[in-house]
Amino acid sequence: MNINLNQAKRAKKDEFYTLLRDIENELRHYKHHFKNKVVYCNCDDPRVSKFFYYFSYQFEHFGLKRLIATCYKNQEPDLFSRHDSEQAIYLEYCGDQDGNLVPDTYEITVNHLQGDGDFRSAECIELLKQADIVVTNPPFSLFREYVAQLMEYDKKFLIIGNQNAITYKEIFPLIKDNLLWLGYGTGGRDMLFDVPEEYARELVETKKEGSAYRIVDGAVKGRLGNACWFTNLSHDKRNEKLILYRQYSPEMYPHYDNYDAIEVSKTKNIPEDWSGAMGVPITFLDKYNPDQFEIIGMDRPLIKALTGKQSRFLIKGKEIYARIIIRNKLL
């Protein structure tokens, strides 16, 4: 029963649909990457998702070549229908045909899939191979597998995930090797999402407003305080130098009991005059400039390599929450 309950909880979190405002705020920093490119939204239900909507309306502005969206067991091939169907579809849009710069329904090709539209299916992988850039909000519960597929097929991407994915053993090495990084607008702020009506009612009945959900213009929005963008597309923020002004002192920066590095509890407190190893929170990655800092590793794998035991860093015998070890490359 516990397994079934956990699966149900994960399934509900996977039905969080990104708001148009968040898509607009993030995508405006990447326009130069999209000219003459094929964009694929492979976890995108156009009935509720705004990714296909955004790219179809911005098609000419971004200079796209083609837009594709696959839908997992989607509704009837009518963008405005809410009638359930076991038939999965994929949509194609190749730009405005009548000069009104609006993606009219007759300009969007609706194709039926043989399977269920799962991003892991053979026919969806064939569409993935045709794409240059993947942009979507994939199921959080399948994030590891989803990113592994993008890496296997060497795709550029901009996707939403749980910030804690930074600590996953499958994800952190990609960050360390500069194969994946955080998007422009991560910033540690909350993200609100559209949720199915049934789940919205459940949130109101069982959760606290302001914590699990918020009401915006009379509509219930799911709240995730740890959602963020992951990408391998360059953006200006990634090249900004972090301004340092603190001076090292043993009192302010204690050493770990079980690793040769100092503790830096907040990114803004990184000392400007320390050239050795430092442990910083995972939120540091929002300010990470690979020209300024080197990522050495993460707490648990480093400790296991040293001692053979699984542990976080300790200060006076007390465990410190997840830390990334970095070094200032400019000293």
The token pair at 235 is 């953006």
Over range 185-195, report the average pLDDT. Answer: 69
Q: Give the mean pLDDT of 15-27.
A: 83
Phi and psi torsions of 218, nearest 5°: 85, -5
Residue 247 predicted with pLDDT over 90: yes
Rounded to whole angstroms, the Cα distance separating 30 from 24 reads: 11
Q: Which secondary structure element, helix H or strand E, spans residue 93, and what is its range?
A: strand 89-93
For residue 78, pLDDT over 50 is answered with no
Model confidence at 205, pLDDT cuts 50, 70, 90, reads confident
C-alpha distances in Å from residue 78, one per residue of 47, 95, 197, 323: 9, 19, 20, 48
- % of the chain with per-residue pLDDT over 70: 88
| pLDDT-derived band at 46, boundaries 50, 70, 90 | low
Encoded amino acid at 50, one letter? K
Residue 33 φ/ψ, nearest 5 degrees? -80, -15
Position 9 scores a pLDDT of 47
Q: Which helix (H) or strand (E) holds 53?
A: helix 51-57
Lowest mean pLDDT across 30-39, 223-232, 264-273:
223-232
Asked which of 46-55, 183-192, 225-234 is least confident by mean pLDDT, the reply is 183-192
pLDDT of 97 above 70? yes
Q: Tell me what pLDDT residue 197 has.
A: 78
Residue 274 to residue 194: CA distance in whole angstroms? 45
Using alpha carbons, select from 302, 319, 322 the residue that is nearest to residue 260.
302
Predicted pLDDT at 166: 94
Quick count: other Cβ atoms within 10 Å of Cβ 208?
8
Of all residues in the chain, what percent carry a pLDDT higher than 90? 62
pLDDT digits (tens, 9 = 90+) for 124-178: 999 999 999 999 999 888 999 999 999 999 999 999 998 899 999 999 999 999 9
Task: Name the residue among 325, 268, 317 with its Cα closest to residue 293.
Answer: 325
Tell me the two tokens of residue 294.
């080197």
Judged against a pLDDT cut of 60, whether residue 233 lies above it is answered with yes
* pLDDT score for 237: 93
Does this model's pTM top 0.95? My answer is no
